[in-house]
Structure 1
Amino acid sequence: MLDSRKCLEIYEFCQSQYKKLEKKTGYYSPKHDKVVMELASKEFQMSEATINNAFDLAAQTLSKNNKSKSEKIIRNKLIHGIF
């Protein structure tokens, strides 16, 4: 079950993986997207599509709001099926 906290947890996990890969290769590469989504899919035992949607929802919401407000917005979007 996907909830607002899980979306934020997925987002934070992915961000940490991006940082690890960036340190390893010295730069951000779009090739990292697939690797990070695969790692998150295994970590959270969810499909890559679900992980991608959760990451995008959290990223879009966090870019406009603080974390506590984002959690409420994500929860409302999930409840109302806007996902």
Structure 2
Amino acid sequence: MPILFRLYADPSLRTSQLRRDMAGISQKMLTQHLRELEADRLIERTDFGEKPLRVEYRLSDRGKQLLPVLIAARSFSLDHG
């Protein structure tokens, strides 16, 4: 969820920006989560084919549709936690 919320706040981010914003996550775990979210079609990956490697992530339309549900669930959890 933190990745989805971060991409909601900033529509397009590189892996390095996500890692800086998410303290305590290893590169391996971040990459794994990004791949899972891409496989679930919640985010889109754009590879610019440049050297050094330049890849950006953004929410897909499906991910944007899921966000209000996640925000409501988070709000409910905070109110009743």
TM-score category, normalised to shorter length: 0.3 to 0.5
- TM-score (norm. length: structure 2): 0.38
- TM-score (norm. length: structure 1): 0.37
Richer in strand (by share):
2
Richer in helix (by share):
1
Task: Please say which structure displays the higher CA radius of gyration.
Answer: 2
